[in-house]
Amino acid sequence: MDPHQQHPIRLRLNGQDREFDVESWVTLLDLLRERAGLTGTKKGCDHGQCGACTVLLDGRRVNACLTLAVMQDGHEVTTIEGLARNEGDRGELHPLQQAFIACDAFQCGYCTPGQICSAAGLIAEGQAKTIADVRELMSGNLCRCGAYPQIVRAVAQVLELDASALDEGKPLTTGSVLA
Ligand code: FES
Ligand code: FES
């Protein structure tokens, strides 16, 4: 089999129908960054360890580095570029994007697109009822700058959760890796 054989695929990408010809070994992450020009999605580890590449696939969060583009033919992909609403010449940030700014929830910003897409998926899942839930369910998204308290605060703000434990500096005990 020719490894360079091209396979036509169609994606609903950030609300637009897009067509690509890709080799079978191209990941969704590389398609987004290298062929669709959507470099908001970041490549960190490239093997499912850091969450920097998190996007929404049919509304569910996935690591784009772990899925092949050809597997997603006909599916809907939303990246960080697709979260803000653009109507005419007016744009409006997604509530999570606004909260990340308001809560100062990033430093270098490299993890931020993945954090925000993951948080959007988390909210859609409807499982996070407490700060501890947020920490646990966001634990697949690493931040080398250690902005975890602010990230959790931003997500909690959008979920309208009680963040008083963060304000009081209480230790937040869960199985989360976010320390
Ligand atoms: S780049 Fe995909 S999980 Fe790290
Ligand atoms: S803000 Fe730098 S890695 Fe998270």
pLDDT tens per residue across span 42-57: 999 999 999 999 999 9
Domain residues for the domain of 67 are 7-82
By most ligand atoms within 8 Å of CB, the mutation choice from 27, 32, 65, 139 for ligand 1 is 65
Q: Which helix (H) or strand (E) holds 102?
A: helix 95-102
147 lines ligand 2 (CB under 6 A): yes
Shared domain for 112 and 77, answered yes or no, is no
Residue 88: its pLDDT value, please?
65
113 lines ligand 1 (CB under 6 A): no
First to last CA, the chain: 48
Contacts of 105 (CB under 8 A, 6+ apart): 99, 112, 115, 147, 150, 151, 153, 154
Q: Does 27 map to a domain?
A: yes
pLDDT tens per residue across span 142-173: 999 999 999 999 999 999 998 887 776 555 44
Q: Does 177 map to a domain?
A: no
pLDDT tens per residue across span 18-36: 999 999 999 999 999 999 9
Distance in angstroms (rounded) separating the CA atoms of residues 104 and 160:
17
- Among 60, 82, 104, the domain-final residue is 82
Q: Indicate the pTM of the whole model.
A: 0.91
pLDDT tens per residue across span 120-149: 999 999 999 999 999 999 999 999 999 999
Number of domains in the chain: 2
Residue 32: its pLDDT value, please?
98
Q: Return the closest-CA partner of residue 53 out of 84, 27, 29.
A: 29
